[in-house]
Structures are given as structure tokens and as C-alpha cells.
Amino acid sequence: MHKDKFVFAQLPRFLDRNHFNYLVKKYEGDKYIKSYTCWNQLLTMMFGQLSNRESLRDLVVAMEAHAGKLYHLGIGKSVTRSNLSKANEQRNYRIFEEYATFVIAEARKRRINKIFELDGHVYAFDSTTIDLCLSVFEWAKFRKHKGGIKLHTLYDVETEVPAFVHITPANIHDSKAMPEIPYESGAHYIFDRGYNDFSNLNTYRCFLRCTSQNKCTDQA
């Protein structure tokens, strides 16, 4: 008989539960909730992501197939598709957004690896388009019969961990997301030709130089 913990049940041990509880309390995520908490919701979505589920229905069916193991997986009770959909729609997204940012920062600390021997971090910035159902996500209209979003990602090349993520509708040009990047003085940024906006690039170059010298010597 298998007596060890399931692999999935071991994953939450690497997550800071105290910080997650702090965010839940901050945004009142579990207010009036009796059983299916934000933590259960997080683990449910993790299970769906890691098991490559393609929809909420697919996720719920997979969980029902393992109903006898959900407690030992750490997820708790099973959840219906309607309740999971309601939780995703009504609970404050900032709980999960800020927790993701926190986890990313912790991962980068543990993955420090100087490859280029440069003084600052080395970042690559690019985007990827994710298709969405236009009838469900009307705000994400991309083409006449197609919906989608763009995931703009600032990738820390040396730690191999994303440092920043910005989401826009898919019809937004890549260069429009450049002002959202949290620029660091002394860091090195890699862009492809989709970001050839020389006016913006010159502005950021001047800003970074001013930040490093505490004064501006360039004329924009």
C-alpha cells in the first residue's frame, strides 16, 4: 500500500501559506466562506494547470475521477463547475496576482546565477498571444470572430524566471506595453524589432541614466 504523500500534496510545502493568508485577510477573500476557501481554489487551479486541463469542465471531471484522493492531495472537498466558476469570477483577483508576484520574487532569490558577469540584471522582454473564446470574453476582441490576450513578460535571463508580467488585449501593439516595465538602473534590456520605438527607447535611456547619476545630463 502506498503510504507516502502524493507528489502534488508535497508542492504546497514550498509555498508561503502565511503570506497567502495575509493577502486573503487583506482583501477579505474568505469572508462569508464556509468550506471552499481561497487556498482550496488556488490548489484546484494548480491541479488544473499541472494536469493540463483545457477548461473548468475538464478540470472538475478530472477532480471527480480522483474524488477519493482529494483530501490526501491537500485540495480538500471536490467543487462543482458552477461554484468554481463563481469563485473565479467573484473573488478578488489581487489575492492571486500579488501572491504570484511574491512567489516570483522568492524564486528569483533562489536562482541567482551570474552568467554574463555584468553589474546589473539582464532582461528579455517579449509577448505571446493566448486565444480566448470571444463569446465569453467580449472585452478581449482580437479579430472579427476571435478573442485573445497578450501576455507581455519581462524574463530574467540569468535566473530563468519571469520578473514581471503585464496582460493586455491581443490587439495592443507590443511597443505599447514598454512603459509598464519596472526599469532598473544598471540593468540590461533585450528587445526584438517589434519594440523599435526610438522615442520611447531614448526616454527610458535618459531616465535610467538620470536615476543612476541622480541628475540628468542628456537632452531628450
Asked whether the predicted pLDDT for residue 215 surpasses 60, the reply is: no
Asked whether the predicted pLDDT for residue 1 surpasses 60, the reply is: no
pTM metric for this prediction: 0.75
pLDDT of residue 40: 92
- The larger pLDDT score, comparing residue 138 to residue 98, is at 98
pLDDT digit string, tens, across residues 102-146? 999 888 888 777 777 778 889 999 999 998 888 878 888 888 778
**pLDDT mean over 181-199:** 85
pLDDT of residue 65: 87
Which band of pLDDT confidence, cut at 50, 70 and 90, is reported for residue 220? Answer: very low
pLDDT digit string, tens, across residues 75-84? 887 888 999 9
Which band of pLDDT confidence, cut at 50, 70 and 90, is reported for residue 2? Answer: low
Asked whether the predicted pLDDT for residue 157 surpasses 70, the reply is: yes
Radius of gyration of the chain (CA): 21
Which band of pLDDT confidence, cut at 50, 70 and 90, is reported for residue 214? Answer: low
* % of the chain at pLDDT higher than 90: 34
CA dist 100 → 42, 46, 109, 124 (Å): 11, 12, 14, 19
Asked whether the predicted pLDDT for residue 211 surpasses 70, the reply is: no
Mean of per-residue pLDDT scores for the chain = 85
pLDDT of residue 206: 67
pLDDT of residue 41: 93
pLDDT of residue 145: 78
Which band of pLDDT confidence, cut at 50, 70 and 90, is reported for residue 219? Answer: very low
